[in-house]
A = this chain, B = another copy of it.
Amino acid sequence: MTEAVSRPTLEAVAARAGVSRATVSRVVNGGDGVREPLAERVRRAVAELGYVPNQAARSLVTRRHDAVAVVIAEPETRVFADPFFALQLRGISKELTAHDNQLVLLLTEGRDDHARVARYLAGGHVDGALVFSLHLDDPLPGLIHDAGVPTVFGGRPDWGGDTRAPGPERPGRAGGNPGVVYVDCDNRGGARTAVRHLVDLGRRRVAHITGALDQTSAVDRLDGYRDVMADLPGGSDPRLVVESDFTPGGGEGAMRTLLDRCPDVDAVFAANDLTALGALRVLRASGRRVPEDVAVIGFDDMLPVAMEADPPLTTVRQDIEEMGRLMARLLLRGLSGGRDRAGATADTPPDGGVILPTTLVRRASA
């Protein structure tokens, strides 16, 4: 604990060698332009004092740290409780490590800490940031923008302008702010496929347990549910939609509310697998058979959660690990200047949104 106190500074090396700070900095950072007797004097002073080159100084020259921050806009307890984040981090970690970049995970207790996170991001400790699980009204995107840190978002951010996902009422490409790069899955299309599957099975009282509606993924999945239900007689019954929060506990509460409101419900599309798990528990406790009485579909295909559910869960698969990997790849490419600014590449369409496909995985629950 005492080393830091006596840790020699760049200034001390400069004084010892009798040269300027700038000269020390150039020698230490391998730059040219320092004549040999002078450079040798600096190197001797470095060795004598046991000076460890400070990246803070080095970064003033190179402006690169080979480090990337990851910010998950959730309290750390949630980060460790929801395997979704572990999967996304796995993809990010593999990709960053393959490029010898350090993964710097900035944890918080909650939204109150986001200003501190933004200070760290602005502080020149990382080359860029990967940010996910944003909620509406979170000041983080604005703070990050002000900090001028190159950033790739996980999940379509929702600030300024029309960023709703494309749908029947507004066909076309995914919306987005120019210059904002993000990776997401086809939340709305995936939801439509799930609900259509339930309808094709002959179900008519199809309910939806939503995710946290201050997140675009939850809004888009709700839109997808409505796209299909709007065409069915009685399909727009508002009692069939119950708001929840992407957690198993939230799914339990929502399922109880649903059974109370609509005892004739014969299918549930849950906004994610964890919510579906909670719903399955309540359905079992109420004596309903799945899928005979009530069919259930989740979203994510998070393993082993979906496979080990009772019964195994039919769900909309998105490749969460690949999503993390792609976020990291896009950021590193942007940092190395490899992005083609004139137009699109396979990974980066001009509007900055990359939408990964989803597929329906059929198991026993529907």
Contact = CB atoms under 8 A, between A and B. Distances in A.
Q: Which 10 A-B pairs have the closest CB atoms?
A: A55-B123, A56-B124, A1-B334, A80-B86, A105-B105, A125-B125, A3-B148, A54-B124, A56-B56, A103-B107
Nearest to A100: B116
Interface stretch (A28-36, A59-67, A251-259, A265-273): A59-67
A169 B279 CA distance: 58
B1 A181 contact: yes
A259 B100 CA distance: 45
Interface of A: 1-4, 7, 10, 52, 54-60, 65-67, 76-77, 80-81, 83, 86, 89-90, 93-94, 97, 100, 102-109, 113, 116-117, 119-120, 122-125, 127-128, 145-152, 179, 181, 331, 334-335, 339, 341
Contact of A125 (B67, B80, B100, B116): B67
Contact of A93 (B66, B67, B94, B107): B107
13 contacts: A1-B128, A1-B152, A1-B335, A1-B339, A3-B145, A52-B148, A55-B123, A55-B125, A65-B123, A67-B125, A76-B93, A102-B106, A105-B105
A94 B76 CA distance: 10
Nearest to A3: B148
A60 B120 contact: no
Contacts of A123: 54-56, 58-59, 65
B106 A106 contact: no
A39 to B, nearest CB: 22
Contact of A108 (B90, B97, B125, B335): B97
A130 to B, nearest CB: 12
Contacts of A10: 60
A181 B149 CA distance: 36
A179 B148 contact: no
Contacts of A2: 150, 179, 341
A195 to B, nearest CB: 32
A60 B21 CA distance: 12
A83 B86 CA distance: 12
Contacts of A77: 86, 90
Contacts of A104: 104-106, 120, 125
Given A1-B335, A80-B90, 6 more contacts: A1-B128, A4-B335, A55-B123, A56-B57, A56-B60, A104-B120
A106 B57 CA distance: 21
Nearest to A55: B123
Contacts of A341: 2
A93 to B, nearest CB: 5
Contacts of A89: 76, 80, 107
B7 A148 contact: yes
Contacts of A59: 56, 123
A55 B122 contact: yes
Nearest to A97: B109
A81 B80 CA distance: 9
Contacts of A102: 106, 113, 116-117, 119-120
A105 B107 CA distance: 7
Given A97-B108, A97-B109, A4 B56 contact: no
B124 A67 contact: no
Contacts of A122: 52, 54-55
Contacts of A147: 52
